[in-house]
Amino acid sequence: MRRINLLLLLQLLLFAGLYAQSTRPEYTTTRIEGEAPTIDGHLDDKAWNQVEWGGDFHQRQPSDIEPVSQETAFKILYDDRYVYVAWRAFDTEPEKIEARLGRRDDFPGDWVEINFDSFNDKRSGFSFSASASGVRGDEFISNDGNNWDSSWNPTWFFKSRTDDQGYTAEARIPLSQLRFGKEENQTWGLQVNRHFFRGQEHSSWAPVKQTQNGWVSRFGVLKGLDGIKARKPLEIQPYVLGQLRTGGDFAGDDPFERTTDTRLSAGFDGRVGITNDVVVDFTVNPDFGQVEADPGAINLDGFQIFFQEQRPFFVEGRNIFDYRLTQAEAGGSYNGDLLFYSRRIGGAPSRFVGENPGVGRFVQQPENTTIIGAAKVSGKTQSGLSLGLLSSFTEREFATVIDNNGESKEQVEPFTSYNVGRVQQDFNDGQSSIGVMLTSVNRDLHTEELNFLHNNAYSSGVDLVHRWKDRAWQLRANMVWSQVRGSEQAITRTQRAFEHNFQRPDADHLSVDSTATRLNGTGGTVAIGEFNGDWVFETGATFRSPGLELNDIGFLNNTEQMNFFAWGARRWRNPTKAFNRFQWNQNIYAGWDWSGAALNRSYNTNVWGQFKNFSNFNFFVNLEQQDISRNALRGGPLFRRSPGFATGGGIGTDQRKKLRAYLYFNGGQSYDGNVMGGSVSLDVAYQPTDALSLSVEPSFNPSTRRDQYITTQTIGGRTGYIHGQIEQQVFSLTMRATYNLTPDFTIQYYAQPFVARGVYDEFKIVDNPLAKDFDNRFIVFPESSVTYDAVNDNYSINDQEDGATDWAFRNPDFNFLQFRSNLVIRWEYRPSSTVFLVWSQGTSGGTDPAKGVFSALSEDLFAGDLRNTFLVKGTYRLVR
């Protein structure tokens, strides 16, 4: 009988535990009676006595099975215009509270946070963070916590204070900054979080296990919101800009280098609510002069270089338009393909007008295309329908030419409109969604010189996400279509482009149609995975048809490919004897071209984790079985590259310390020893005071490969793919400094010198591109057949031993130098209204390839002409 009673007791306890885990905690607020709280951080206003404290927080990290080490409590009130939040973060050692300063969204030191799922859709939310030092953080949450958009910058107010019990914070959040329905009695999702810095402990009011998938769907419940009315947002933010640009070669012959440019302009941004759910953001004559310069990069394999979007208008709300063709947990180059890549708008002009100073021809080429204006409509209804519409127009651009005939203009970019539409519907209690995306680019072409561009480019996509078993399992699927239209010249150019290579001589399934005036293509992905528990996995396949073309408004790395991927991991999320957390991943990749020819097979295994002393580490091993490229010969046949292995990783010190560092390293080579390389970088950060932070990151990347492509030439009906051996070195040094006079007044400096050097020898021509043995793939030109012309800086090769030149090409050696820096003084003199003072400095050019990267850096980096840009910009944000 005792055994039966004991079993019954255990079953009841188990049931109670499961019930407690599945029940969402609730907090009931109330409307303020009398005077609203003063936002000063003191929590001594009478209004706070109208509600009880919420508490009973649960630790999430480092252990979700241990109690919190420090208690946290909160209160919530509201009136017709605002939601008011009070936090009490208890600390038994308040003198150890970390009150580091930083810019908005830096999340420095100790902080508390509140998340509202005001639509109660279990997928999206609004996050407001308050640090002990007074730094604000705000993010828009989407896709059930898989996307956190820190570019969302609502207008709200808070103050924090430290006392003998810990620290407190008070916030006033306008209802106009939130989105909610029209019900008389509202119910919202609610989560309250705390980051306890010195213990690196994250805790939350609504419990969330580390092994559980999802975030917003795990929120608790906020009740008691009665009679609040949705307010349509209305915000106007005009700006005035003054700019001075100077520098250049004043002693040279180029008249454009002897000018000092000045500019005075104005524009404005705005936000207008169509309804409480749907808003219109717009910008007229936008300026992004305060945006940090792109880092230095060089790429010899022919693929595009992806740069992150940094311009505020396109960054804010970008999650709505984030349509990735593939989102494989295993990674892969295809993970970067996008239906919409906002950097296409306002980029460098498409046509480059050459100059020839030797005959007195000088050109002033616009660096970027002018954006006349842009607008986007975004929102989400209470029924779970998300929508986003973006439209932008760029100006017709001209290069100025001065030659013996005087001054003239040549068009380098047409007037262009860019349009994107996105609709997504949630269903199945927010566990699933289906969406559609459409894009278009339309160019007004007036000159024959621009006929190489597409007149029109269209793309579309349909995507489905379905989750089940409490969001543990997930199915993702999408399909995309594209069509580009233009002249015969434009479509022929696209077919022969690096990404397509319809002219490949060994591709019987492809051919260039020189009479075509349009090109169509498709792509898609399907993936299934299980993401709850200690063992997780995902597997799937993705494809791109030969005719898929997205690069007018999207980002497409490659076409004519089918890829399989698989990822599996074992996760130790709670602390063990040695680790706070640990994860071991395995990845498998395989790819084929459109004819079914096998291109690549590879395997990766990696581990990452955190030791008990809070130092971090990661290590990986990559193993290739096959690597055949359809792009390496730039339109030539398939080419076998030597497969190989690589290994590396990183190790970092405790990130809580004032001085912290992370060392990254990797190295590898082909199995036949014909390709080898590696890299090492060290990221060092130092925070001598709460207000000042410094960081420096040197990086060095040496490599050697014997099969570096140089050029393709056809002479006398004979096509040759010229290669060489390259010794390459790349060095960069990224430096940052931030000084915070207050959380709203910062001085930031960014600088990066960048040097890339490549020296070629052992020239050769492809003989058997798919030969398994490296030496059988090429015919190496003997040194006696190679002649270098120092006057014209080119090589000529006689491989027929008849004294005649068979191949000739420019010396491919290079030594590229670049320096970019920004000094930005930013004062947010009132919420979301800002004054910027900016000094940008930059130079780029080349030097003697015989010099090593460090000699070039020390002797020649600043030997060229420095360009200086001084900018003053003021904005004022008017919020109704």
Residue 208 within a domain: yes
Task: Check residue 808 and report its DSSP letter.
Answer: E
State the average pLDDT over residues 285-303. Answer: 78
State the average pLDDT over residues 355-377. Answer: 86
Query: Of 196-205, 404-413, 752-761, which gets the smallest average pLDDT?
Result: 404-413
What domain range is 181 assigned to? 22-226
Residue 237 within a domain: no
Residue 683 within a domain: no
Give CA–CA dist 25/219, Å, rounded: 8
Q: What is residue 125's predicted lDDT score, i.e. its pLDDT?
A: 93
Tens-digit pLDDT profile for residues 309-341: 888 788 877 888 999 999 999 999 999 999 999
3-state DSSP of 163-212:
ECCEEEEEEEEEHHHCCCCCCCEEEEEEEEEEEECCCCEEEECCCCCCCC
Question: Is it the case that residue 7 has pLDDT exceeding 60?
Answer: no
Question: Is it the case that residue 14 has pLDDT exceeding 60?
Answer: no
Enter the tokens of residue 269.
């941004």
Rounded (5°) CA angle 876-835-739 = 140
Query: Of 186-200, 502-516, 596-610, 837-851, which gets the smallest average pLDDT?
Result: 837-851
3-state DSSP of 571-601:
EECCCCCCEEEEEEEEEEEEEECCCCCEEEE
Please say whether the beta carbons of 539 and 553 come within 8 A.
no
Give CA–CA dist 464/779, Å, rounded: 51
Using the structure block, give the residue that is written with the tokens 């030109």: 781
Residue 92 within a domain: yes
State the average pLDDT over residues 24-42. Answer: 94
In 3D space, the residue among 154, 159, 188, 156 whose CA is nearest the CA of residue 172 turns out to be 156
Give CA–CA dist 113/169, Å, rounded: 10
The residues with which 475 forms a beta bridge, in sequence order, are 466, 528
Q: How many helices and strands (H and E) does the chain possess?
A: 5, 47
The residues with which 263 forms a beta bridge, in sequence order, are 243
Cis peptide before 357 (omega within 30 of 0): no
Q: What is residue 430's predicted lDDT score, i.e. its pLDDT?
A: 83
- Mean predicted lDDT score pLDDT of the chain: 90
Residue 172 within a domain: yes
Q: What is residue 191's predicted lDDT score, i.e. its pLDDT?
A: 98
Helix (H) or strand (E) holding 78: strand 72-78
State the average pLDDT over residues 855-868. Answer: 85
Question: Is it the case that residue 809 has pLDDT exceeding 60?
Answer: yes
pLDDT above 70 as % of the chain: 96
Q: What is residue 669's predicted lDDT score, i.e. its pLDDT?
A: 97
Query: Of 429-433, 551-555, 580-584, which gets the smallest average pLDDT?
Result: 429-433
Please say whether the beta carbons of 715 and 683 come within 8 A.
no
Q: How far apart are the first and last CA of the chain?
A: 71
DSSP assignment of 151-167, as one string?
Answer: T-----EEEEEEETTEE
Residue 142 within a domain: yes
Q: What is the pTM of this model?
A: 0.88
Tens-digit pLDDT profile for residues 423-435: 999 988 888 999 9
State the average pLDDT over residues 34-46. Answer: 94
pLDDT band at 259 (very low <50, low <70, confident <90, very high): low
pLDDT above 90 as % of the chain: 70
Question: Is it the case that residue 22 has pLDDT exceeding 70?
Answer: no
pLDDT band at 290 (very low <50, low <70, confident <90, very high): low
Tens-digit pLDDT profile for residues 434-453: 999 999 999 999 889 999 99
The residues, any chain, with a CB within 8 Å of residue 692's CB and separated by 6 or more, are 737, 738, 739, 740
Question: Is it the case that residue 365 has pLDDT exceeding 70?
Answer: yes
3-state DSSP of 659-687:
EEEEEEEEEEEECCCCEEEEEEEEEEEEC
The domain total for the chain is 1
Q: What is residue 317's predicted lDDT score, i.e. its pLDDT?
A: 75
pLDDT band at 252 (very low <50, low <70, confident <90, very high): low
CATH number at 42 reads 2.60.40.1190
Tens-digit pLDDT profile for residues 494-512: 999 999 999 999 999 999 9
Task: Check residue 361 and report its DSSP letter.
Answer: B
Residue 416 within a domain: no
Residue 509 within a domain: no
